[in-house]
Amino acid sequence: MLVEKRRVLLVDDEEALLSLGHAMLTRLGCDVVPCATSPEALETFAAAPARFDLVVTDYTMPALTGAQLGVACQQLRPDLPVLLVTGWLEIPEAVHAPAPGRMAVLQKPFGLHELDGALRQLLGARQTAEGAVYAGVA
């Protein structure tokens, strides 16, 4: 079976976490576009919204929080799934995603299998006409 490669916009202002996230998502079969700031990420996304299948962002970011970035991206493309990663036990602000069910939260710390599970849940087991599915860890 062919594997559908997902293009992910990854956003984190901590270089080490951006690098780790990039490595983990690549291991899961994703094509990753990393950004170190939320304004850079929004500009990158706005330039070509159809280019991305998913946004994975740290919640705690300067300028725009991950939730604000996710909502801004979903205003450009309401079907876009957004995964917020956070060390907070609760997200301090309400997340009002334009498309309910298209934004999820993953608590830090997490491993490869937890990330894989969160992506599978958020993306679903959607299949393309060719029968390709999201490539995760077996």
- pTM for the model stands at 0.83
Q: Does residue 120 form part of some domain?
A: yes
pLDDT tens digit at each of 138 positions of the chain: 224 679 999 999 999 999 999 999 999 999 999 999 999 999 999 999 999 999 999 998 999 999 899 999 999 998 999 999 988 666 555 555 555 568 888 888 899 999 999 998 888 744 332 333 444 444
Closest CA to 56 of 95, 112, 106: 106
Domain count, the chain: 1
Q: Does residue 1 form part of some domain?
A: no
The domain spanning residue 113 has which CATH number?
3.40.50.2300
- Domain hosting 33: range is 7-134
Phi, then psi, of 4 in degrees rounded to 5 = -80, 120
Q: Does residue 57 form part of some domain?
A: yes
| 90 vs 110: CA distance, rounded Å | 16
Q: Does residue 2 form part of some domain?
A: no
Question: What pLDDT was estimated at residue 21?
Answer: 96
